Chain A
């Protein structure tokens, strides 16, 4: 169980370590459910990042491996959604819970 958590954490921290991937997460926070084309448009037009579609695909694969991005098929299209749940591990690992208030248990 501990080993599993370490592996998951490694993927998570690796995913978050890259500025382009953090920008992708920012954009998915603004609007969940984007096609690869929309993500590429946002990176190139809004953030002026000269990045190929293949490179964006690879970044998305890393984010998906870390559980931060989920893909969903809807008819003929594929959409990417943000899943911030894995970030809870970071909070639970180091932040001491505030015992004075009501506590919420993690799933």
Chain B
């Protein structure tokens, strides 16, 4: 069994496409119309074009909104992405106007930071444990 796709609910798919590609630097993999206004929209890491896809799924269900709002209030991220250097990535994203709810924090071998993806979620970036 392999994890080939994971999903995250987003408020607005167009906004999510912009943030996840232009700001975070992921690459669009699939973009297929579904129904009247929704899309099957996935992105991948440019380092792993055949790696795990992230589905940017429209948040339709009201329960999803409550769930996300409650987690966001407590600063809890809904996904984690690996980066080589959290501090460098923090500086880069901060410079682009990204809002961090947790600045880089060193905890033993791992450094983490948490930011707002502008689509309703908090995302954690972390160094890969070596």
Per-residue 0/1 for B67-83: is the Cβ within 8 Å of any A Cβ (1 yes, 0 no)? 00100111111000000
Given contacts A35-B74, A77-B72, A77-B73, contact A41 B112 (CB under 8 A): yes
Chain A residues 48-74 with CB under 8 Å of chain B are: 53
Asked if residues A35 and B108 are in contact (CB atoms below 8 Å), the reply is no
A42 interface contact, C-beta 8 A: yes
A interface, size bucket: 10 to 19
B110: nearest chain-A partner, CB-CB = A45
Enumerate chain A residues within 8 angstroms of B75, measured Cβ to Cβ: 34-38, 77-78
- Size category of the B interface is 10 to 19
Q: Is the CB of B105 within 8 A of A38?
A: yes
Question: Which of B69, B72, B107 is in CB contact (< 8 Å) with A41?
Answer: B107
The interface residues of chain B lying within 8 Å CB-to-CB of A36 are: 74-76
Known pairs A36-B75, A37-B75, A77-B75; A42 contacts B105 (CB<8 A): yes
Q: How far is the CB of A73 from chain B (nearest CB, A)?
A: 8
Instruction: Confirm or deny: B7 has a beta carbon within 8 angstroms of a beta carbon on chain A.
Output: no
User: A77 and B101 in contact (CB under 8 A), knowing A37-B75, A37-B76, A38-B75?
Assistant: yes
Bound together, the chains give a CA A46 to CA B69 distance in angstroms of 27
B102: CB under 8 A from chain A?
A: yes
Q: Mark A1-40, 1 if CB is under 8 A from B, else 0.
A: 0000000000000000000000000000001001111100
Interface residues of A (CB under 8 A from B): 31, 34-38, 41-42, 45-46, 53, 76-79
Complex A-B: 25 CB contacts under 8 Å: A31-B103, A34-B75, A34-B102, A35-B76, A36-B74, A36-B75, A37-B74, A37-B76, A37-B101, A38-B75, A38-B102, A38-B114, A41-B102, A41-B105, A41-B107, A41-B112, A45-B107, A46-B108, A76-B69, A76-B72, A76-B73, A76-B116, A77-B72, A78-B75, A79-B101
